[in-house]
Amino acid sequence: MNEVWISVLETVGLAWWVEIVTNTPACTYYFGPFSNAQDAEALKPGYIQDLDEEGAQELKVMVKRCKPPKLTIFDENEKSQLQRISPSFSS
């Protein structure tokens, strides 16, 4: 029953999510959905630990109601800057 309720909340944009924004890499991550803020808060430390272990830096963490467009959003400006950098090889 809880899964059905979460699905309804997610559909109408009232589900709770853990949003983590990192500077390095420049990404926004969403973890959820949850039916209430308390469940999201309880699992938040695990998500932070996972990103710390992956080397993410300068995390901003928020539990909020939203309807994320994607679960991971990369900063397109950073991505395009990295694509313009080409390695130089010397012989």
Over residues 23-74, the pLDDT tens digits come to 999 999 999 999 999 999 999 999 999 999 999 999 999 999 999 999 999 9
pLDDT, position 9: 84
Residue 91 lies in a domain: no
Beta-strand relationship, 16-24 and 27-34: antiparallel
Residue 90 lies in a domain: no
Residue 52 lies in a domain: yes
pLDDT, position 50: 96
pLDDT, position 89: 45
Residue 35 lies in a domain: yes
Q: How confident is the model at residue 90 (pLDDT cuts 50, 70, 90)?
A: very low
Write down the residue that tokens 């589900």 correspond to. Answer: 15
Residue 9 lies in a domain: yes
pTM of the model: 0.78
Residue 80 lies in a domain: yes
Residue 65 lies in a domain: yes
The type of residue at 55 is G
For the chain, the domain total comes to 1
Q: 45 is in which domain, residue-wise?
A: 2-84
**Distant-in-sequence contacts of 50-53, Cβ < 8 A, 24+ apart:** 51/20, 51/22
Residue 89 lies in a domain: no
